[in-house]
Amino acid sequence: MLRCHGEDDIEVLDPSGGWLERWHHRFAAQGIRHLRSPAVHHPHPDPFALLAGSGDNDLVRAGQANLPTTTAFARFIAAVVGTLGLETAVTPARATRLDLDLEGVASVTGSDAVVRRPERVVLATNARRPVVPAALRAWTRHPCVAVGDAADVRRTPPGGEVLIVGGGISAGHLALGATARVARVTLVSRRRLEVRRYDTHPTWLGPRKLRPFAAEPDPERRRRMIDQARGGGSMPHWMRRGLEQATEDGALRLRQRRTITAVETRGDRLAVSLDDDTTTEVDTLWCATGGELDAATDPLCAALRDLAPTPIARGLPELDAALRWPGTEVHLVGAAAGLLLGPTAGNLVGHRRAAQRIAAAVRGEDPLRADRLTTGAGACPATADQRASSTTRGA
Ligand X SMILES: Cc1cc2nc3c(=O)[nH]c(=O)nc-3n(C[C@H](O)[C@H](O)[C@H](O)COP(=O)(O)OP(=O)(O)OC[C@H]3O[C@@H](n4cnc5c(N)ncnc54)[C@H](O)[C@@H]3O)c2cc1C
List the x/- string, 19-58, binding to ligand X by CB under 6 A.
--xxx--x---x-x--xxx---x-----------------
CB closer to ligand X, 21 vs 320: 21
CB of 218 to ligand X, least distance (A): 25
Shortest spacing between CB 205 and ligand X, in angstroms:
11
Q: Would you say 22 or 266 has its CB closer to ligand X?
A: 22
* Binding of residue 168 to ligand X (CB under 6 A): no
Does 166 contact ligand X by CB under 6 A? Answer: no
Nearer to ligand X by Cβ, of 97 and 253: the residue is 97
Interface stretch with ligand X, choices 77-85, 124-132, 253-261, 368-376 (CB under 6 A): 124-132
- Least separation, in Å, of the C-beta of 347 and ligand X? 3
| Shorter beta-carbon distance to ligand X: residue 165 or 272 | 165
Give the footprint of ligand X on residues 50-109 (CB under 6 A).
94-95
Residues 169-228 that bind ligand X (CB under 6 A): 170
In angstroms, rounded to a whole number, what is the distance separating the alpha carbons of residues 117 and 67?
40
From 225, 165, 229, select the one nearest 191 (Cα to Cα): 165
Interface with ligand X, residue 346, by CB under 6 A: yes
Angle made by CA atoms 131, 289, 202, in degrees to the nearest 5: 110
> Closest Cα partner for 205 from 347, 373, 64, 394?
373
Q: Which stretch binds ligand X (CB under 6 A): 43-51, 156-164, 207-215, 344-352?
A: 344-352
CB of 65 vs ligand X, minimal distance in Å: 11
Judged by CB, which is closer to ligand X: 25, or 221?
Answer: 25
Question: Three-class SS of residue 239?
Answer: helix
Q: DSSP labels for 144-166? A: TEEEGGG--GGGPPTT-EEEEE-
DSSP for 338-389? HHHH-TTTTSHHHHHHHHHHHHHHHTTS-HHHH--TTS-TT--HHHHHHHHT
Cα torsion through 196, 199, 202, 207, rounded to 10: 140
* Nearer Cβ to ligand X (53/343): 343
Q: Which is nearer to ligand X, 65 or 362 (CB)?
A: 65
Least spacing, CB of residue 82 vs ligand X, in Å: 19
The least CB distance from residue 336 to ligand X, in Å, is 8
Helix, strand, coil shares of the chain as percentages rounded to 5? Answer: 35, 20, 45
Q: Which is nearer to ligand X, 30 or 310 (CB)?
A: 30
CB under 8 Å to 62, separation ≥6 — which residues?
197, 236, 238
Q: Which residue in 11, 15, 107, 305 binds ligand X (CB under 6 A)? A: 15
Q: How many CB atoms sit inside 10 A of residue 221's CB?
A: 12
Residues 383-392: b if buried by 16+ CB within 10 A, e if exposed: beebbeeeee
Using an 8 Å Cβ cutoff, are 274 and 261 in contact? yes
CB-nearer residue toward ligand X: 41 or 258? 41
Quick one: DSSP state of residue 128?
A: P
Beta carbon nearer to ligand X, 375 or 391:
375
Does residue 298 belong to the site contacting ligand X (CB under 6 A)?
Answer: no
Q: Using the rule CB under 6 A, which residue among 179, 347, 356, 383 binds ligand X? A: 347
What is the identity of the amino acid at 99?
D
Is residue 126 at the binding interface for ligand X, with CB under 6 A as the rule? Answer: yes
> Where do the DSSP E strands lie in 213-278?
252-256, 260-266, 269-274
End-to-end CA distance of the chain: 22
- Examine residue 304 and tell whether it contacts ligand X (CB under 6 A): no
Q: Which of 214, 302, 321, 348 binds ligand X (CB under 6 A)?
A: 348
Residues in contact with ligand X by CB under 6 A are 13-16, 21-23, 26, 30, 32, 35-37, 41, 94-95, 124-127, 170, 300, 334, 346-348
